[in-house]
Structure 1
Amino acid sequence: MSKRTLLVLRIAVFIAACAFLYVRLGRDGAGLQRLFAWFTYAHSPWSALVPVVLLMLLNWSIEALKWRVLVREVERMPFVRAFAAVVAGTSIGLITPNRVGEFAGRVLFLRPDHRVRGAFATLLGSIAQFVVTVLVGALFLFLFPLDFVDQEPGALWPVVRWCALLIGGATVFLYFSPGTLERVFLAVPWSRRFERQVRVLGAFGGQRLTVVATLSGLRYAVFTLQFAWLLHTVGAVPWSTACARVPVIFLVTTLIPTTALTELGVRGSVTDTLVSGGDPVGVVVSSILIWAVNIALPALVGSLILLVARIRTESPDAG
């Protein structure tokens, strides 16, 4: 990748991220009005918001540690650069379906000849996070049946439970059998050109995979606490209800394909449907706040990081 191409990419990502945020927020005028009203009339809005922002920093710090573990065999990376990489990745993730583009922003911080291997290693981290989200969500569906489970669309929830368990179980198998995942990739014709890079998956042993899965679980606990805290403090939802519903909300929103333009609406609709016993307006505001703090703010900061970060266009030993 030439320096000119990289510069164009940086500027394009920054403009696209800003445009997506502008369009997304512009399309949800009613939600913004509710958010501004909450800031205006709430007794102490910052006492609810500051812990969420601090937990967001902890969330991305855990993700940076996880990414360092994932790419350790590819390239050694200081924590600060790893943190910048994962935050920068959110800016590209913002403009891709289900934020699948996050890995692209991260691997730019690796040496050019390490980026493809780094992308495949990063994939295991995404699988680990997916496994935790699906299995915990399915478990909570079994432990805490929804209030309307015997009504429409309640008849669908048993299907969702078992499908989530099956999907989660299959993904667990792939995650802890990276050699199988490697063979799956190599069975796809277009991926054979990256055979040497795909082999990085086979270098992951059980101990390192367990560490990555544990960090994924810690990260999941952090953003579950974030959302439950907002539902309780802003939406007046009882703690027990908030903690029981948040994993199900994450499960449903993970399984529904979304883009940056639809994610906020989908999350808000799912939250409004699944959460009862609180202030409906506060519940909607909680959904907007969690999106703004965990996605919009990091994406905006990440796009700025991409503009100013030192990103190599050729390997040190090139030429």
Structure 2
Amino acid sequence: MLGIVLMPINWWLEAQKIKWNAAQINEEENFSFKAVLASVFMGVITPNRLGNFLGARRWFQNKEAYTSLNLYANLSQFVSTLVLGGIGLLFLDVIPLDLPSPLLYACIAIALISYFSMPKLRIQQIRWLREYRVEVNPLHRGRLLGLSLFRSFIISMQYTCFLLSFNVGEFHTFLLWSMVYYFYLTLIPSWFLNRLIVRESLALILFLPLLENSIGIVFSSLLIWILNLGVPAVFGAYYTVKQKAYDSTTT
């Protein structure tokens, strides 16, 4: 039950990132939760959710600037997953590929340093992202990262709750393993439906040594995908098509 209750919190956190980015380009009045749903839809059907900006950008006038900020928001989510996953690996004392632990945490530290030291984004090669710059001030970077850390933690809690609904175990152990699960999942490339098959396979690899209910593991992974991505993506597809039709009539 708690996993379902956390679903709207997850959506709200995603909405806040889009709203904060809109504020950076003085377009708060154009923010709409429809943009959030459209963003989820485009993220689901593009590799590693990189196309999520394509859904939300239709609601803003300065599409290029918003896209730049959204890419930075994506980076904050990526870094937050690495940080929480690193915490999980530290407490569980499980280091992937037998890497020296200092090397692993040095890579995470480099990711954090790079996130805060990147002064600006500039993309020149892609036609619809050409020749613009957006300054991302340190306060906005910190807020995005803090929000992303909270969102990653909420998602891990959701997955933990679903696992515990089908299995018996300690909450904090499952939570740490859930953080590690998303750590690995983030590093695995995806091409369609946000790693729908890969998610279940990875979940079985990580959790079968801890749990006996393989069906519960797979169902938990499917359930969190349906609630966090599948359901909003359906609504997002509708609003994307509707907004595209509206844009066509006004141009």
- 1:113-128 superposed matches below 5 A: 114-128=62-76
Give 3-state SS (helix, strand or coil) of 1:176's partner.
Answer: helix
Residues of 1 paired with 2:165 and 2:111: CA distance?
35
| Code of the aligned partner of 1:74 | I
Residues of 2 paired with 1:263 and 1:245: CA distance?
19
Counterpart in the other structure of 2:51: 101
Match of 1:158 among 99, 104, 114: 99
Question: Alpha carbons of 1:190 and 1:109: their partners in 2 closer, same or farther (altered >3 Å)?
Answer: closer
TM-score, normalised via structure 2 length: 0.86
Is 2:128 the partner of 1:171? no
Residues of 2 paired with 1:163 and 1:96: CA distance?
31
| Code of the aligned partner of 2:220 | S
Counterpart in the other structure of 1:57: 8
Give 3-state SS (helix, strand or coil) of 2:157's partner.
Answer: helix
- 1:201-280 superposed matches below 5 A: 202=135, 204-260=136-192, 263-275=195-207, 276-280=210-214
**CA RMSD after TM alignment:** 2.8
Question: Alpha carbons of 1:293 and 1:205: their partners in 2 closer, same or farther (altered >3 Å)?
Answer: same
Question: Alpha carbons of 1:62 and 1:190: their partners in 2 closer, same or farther (altered >3 Å)?
Answer: closer
Residues of 1 paired with 2:37 and 2:196: CA distance?
19
Identity %: 25
Question: Alpha carbons of 1:66 and 1:168: their partners in 2 closer, same or farther (altered >3 Å)?
Answer: same
Counterpart in the other structure of 1:303: 237
Please say if residues 156 and 179 of structure 2, whose CA atoms lie closer than 8 Å, have aligned partners that are also in contact.
Answer: yes
User: 1:238: how far off?
Assistant: 2.9
Residues of 1 paired with 2:193 and 2:20: CA distance?
32
User: 1:308: how far off?
Assistant: 3.2
User: 1:177: how far off?
Assistant: 2.1
Please say if residues 75 and 110 of structure 1, whose CA atoms lie closer than 8 Å, have aligned partners that are also in contact.
Answer: no
Match of 2:130 among 184, 194, 206: 194
Residues of 1 paired with 2:202 and 2:174: CA distance?
13
Please say if residues 135 and 164 of structure 1, whose CA atoms lie closer than 8 Å, have aligned partners that are also in contact.
Answer: no
Please say if residues 79 and 111 of structure 2, whose CA atoms lie closer than 8 Å, have aligned partners that are also in contact.
Answer: yes
User: 1:103: how far off?
Assistant: 0.9
Counterpart in the other structure of 1:69: 20
Unaligned 5+ runs, structure 1: 1-47
| Code of the aligned partner of 1:194 | R
Residues of 1 paired with 2:38 and 2:70: CA distance?
14
Question: Alpha carbons of 1:312 and 1:110: their partners in 2 closer, same or farther (altered >3 Å)?
Answer: farther
Residues of 2 paired with 1:190 and 1:99: CA distance?
18
Give 3-state SS (helix, strand or coil) of 1:301's partner.
Answer: helix
User: 1:157: how far off?
Assistant: 4.3
1:224-275 CA-partner distances (Å, limit 9, x unpaired): 1100100111233431321110011001110000122571221111111112
Please say if residues 44 and 194 of structure 2, whose CA atoms lie closer than 8 Å, have aligned partners that are also in contact.
Answer: no
Q: Which has the larger radius of gyration?
A: 1
Please say if residues 228 and 243 of structure 1, whose CA atoms lie closer than 8 Å, have aligned partners that are also in contact.
Answer: yes
Match of 2:85 among 137, 162, 170: 137
Residues of 2 paired with 1:245 and 1:269: CA distance?
15
Unaligned 5+ runs, structure 2: none
Residues of 2 paired with 1:95 and 1:192: CA distance?
19
| Range with bigger deviation, 136-145 or 121-130 | 136-145
Please say if residues 58 and 243 of structure 2, whose CA atoms lie closer than 8 Å, have aligned partners that are also in contact.
Answer: no
| Code of the aligned partner of 1:67 | I
**Number of positions where the alignment pairs a residue of Structure 1 with one of Structure 2:** 248
Residues of 2 paired with 1:143 and 1:233: CA distance?
24
User: 1:83: how far off?
Assistant: 2.2
1:205-235 CA-partner distances (Å, limit 9, x unpaired): 2222211111111111211110010011123
1:98-136 CA-partner distances (Å, limit 9, x unpaired): 11111110111112xx10111001111111111110121
| Code of the aligned partner of 1:53 | I
| Code of the aligned partner of 2:117 | S
